Amino acid sequence: MLERRTPHHDDLIDHLVRTTALQRGEAARVVLDVLAYFDETAEDYVRRRHRELQSGGLTNPAIFEQIMAELPHRAVAPPELSLRQLRRMVYG
Q: What is the pLDDT of residues 5-62, one digit of tens each?
A: 455 789 999 999 999 999 999 999 999 999 888 888 899 999 999 999 999 999 999 9
Question: Does 89 score more than 50 pLDDT?
Answer: yes
Give pLDDT, residue 61. Answer: 96
More confident residue, 60 or 92: 60
Q: Please state whether the predicted TM-score (pTM) of the whole model is above 0.95.
A: no
Query: How many Å apart are CA 35 and CA 42, to the nearest integer?
Result: 15
Whether the Cβ atoms of residue 78 and residue 42 lie closer than 8 Å to each other: yes
- Side chain identity, residue 41: T
Buried b (16+ CB within 10 A) or exposed e, 44-67: ebbbebbeebeeeeeeeeebbeeb
